Structure 1
């Protein structure tokens, strides 16, 4: 029986036209022998704009649901996650060749690692790529290190939550993504950091598209009052998890 890595994508009407590029990047992935991917595309809403852009492929499951934001859509998709690992892929982003194989190599090779992240290149509207000049060293990330860096650098983590690949059971134990209007993926990253060692790969693992329609570019996303509220609850959750000392992997 083949093993599966699950790709989870939340999508809404304005970003649906990018699904074709995301699909091409998935098809270009070469997985280890015995592995396959299953792409769960969950629409945030129940409109008619997304379905025409969903590729016709038996490895893809497309569903719709009540609108609640990308975190809610991704969490709903977990009901159909029939594999050991869950990889996040936003509808407007792309995976460079080898990204999935590198994630699997880390998680299969070290059971103490609960999640992986990787280097990101911003894909600009003119097609150029822009990197981040403060990437950490390649290798394990000890518990609590992301929270410490995030708190000391104006709520900016040293690794990107859009590159996460996570053990499915660990993701479910944490309840999926946070119920926030934004920063729900940062909330998940810091929760994972509180309970498990992670890993950072310096090879590029994501092309993060920059375009005028993306949610993080909207005015509401940078509203200072709401941002402070989101950051407060994200930090409080991470510190509470650390305080109660539940961790992955569990010990008898």
Structure 2
């Protein structure tokens, strides 16, 4: 029976919203014979969330018992996953009904792809959604096109590029994620490091459906000045990774 593994790193400060994330998983209806596992990795020296998470019958909880950060926590969860597909759900975000089924069906329709991205909206503090027009046309996306888009969309004010979709909108082939070593060991952009590599090596599919709500709130670390100060160095590391894949000719192979 095929499994889709959803990975969520979390800390105690997200105890309220992570339950909403779990409820959004409970509302997913998967295609026949597929099962869901929710791999929650509590990133804390004093874990407190085991009972709340284990109330979900599809959850598989583990605590780091020390603070490691986002990428190591995701990779530890990846190491104990059983799925042929992997999806990241941050603790403060939610999936819309049908999100995982849409991704699974896309993989069945396009068996050579390595990733599926759904569209996303912002979830605002008042519970309303802020919608966005897609930055690229839905449909099959060739290998290399995502990195081309990112580095062609550099903001002149910040120097940062922009993905054509949010990295946490993606469902990934687990074998490719394992082969690439999971999420990059960067202080920032660890998600972009993996997405840049997997979209460089494999074609993918961008769905017309909106499957993901990204919660906008003041507690998000990605909006702080402290978080931004290592972004340029992290982006350079991602760019070097893409350049290396192309120089070695790996982007020309189908995995």
TM-score calculated relative to the size of structure 1: 0.93
Per-residue Cα deviation, 1:145-202 (whole angstroms, up to 9, x for no partner): 1111111212111111011101110000110001112211111111111111111112
Distance in 1 of aligned mates of 2:240 and 2:132: 27
Q: Which moved more, 1:31-40 or 1:124-133?
A: 124-133
Unmatched 5+ stretches in structure 2: 155-160
- 8 Å Cα contact 1:195-1:242 kept in structure 2: no
Q: How does 1:41-190 map to 2 (within 5 A)?
A: 41-65=40-64, 66-154=66-154, 155-190=161-196
The counterpart of 1:195, out of the listed 193, 201, 215, is 201
- SS for the counterpart of 1:242 is helix
- 8 Å Cα contact 1:140-1:198 kept in structure 2: yes
Per-residue Cα deviation, 1:11-41 (whole angstroms, up to 9, x for no partner): 1122232111111111111111101100000
Distance in 2 of aligned mates of 1:16 and 1:216: 19
Q: How does 1:33-48 map to 2 (within 5 A)?
A: 33-48=32-47
Per-residue Cα deviation, 1:92-115 (whole angstroms, up to 9, x for no partner): 111101100000011122221100
Is 1:220 the counterpart of 2:226? The answer is yes
> What is the aligned-residue RMSD (CA, Å)?
1.5
- 8 Å Cα contact 2:119-2:134 kept in structure 1: no
- 8 Å Cα contact 1:5-1:86 kept in structure 2: yes
Distance in 2 of aligned mates of 1:149 and 1:186: 13
1:46, CA displacement in angstroms?
2.9
- 8 Å Cα contact 1:14-1:213 kept in structure 2: no
TM-score calculated relative to the size of structure 2: 0.92
> Are residues 110 and 134 of structure 1, via their aligned partners in 2, closer, same or farther at CA, if it must alter by over 3 Å?
closer
Distance in 1 of aligned mates of 2:29 and 2:87: 15
Is 1:238 the counterpart of 2:254? The answer is no
Distance in 2 of aligned mates of 1:241 and 1:45: 35
Per-residue Cα deviation, 1:191-245 (whole angstroms, up to 9, x for no partner): 111111111112111011011112212222222xx21101000111122122223
- 8 Å Cα contact 1:121-1:207 kept in structure 2: yes
The counterpart of 1:249, out of the listed 237, 246, 254, is 254
- 8 Å Cα contact 1:10-1:70 kept in structure 2: yes
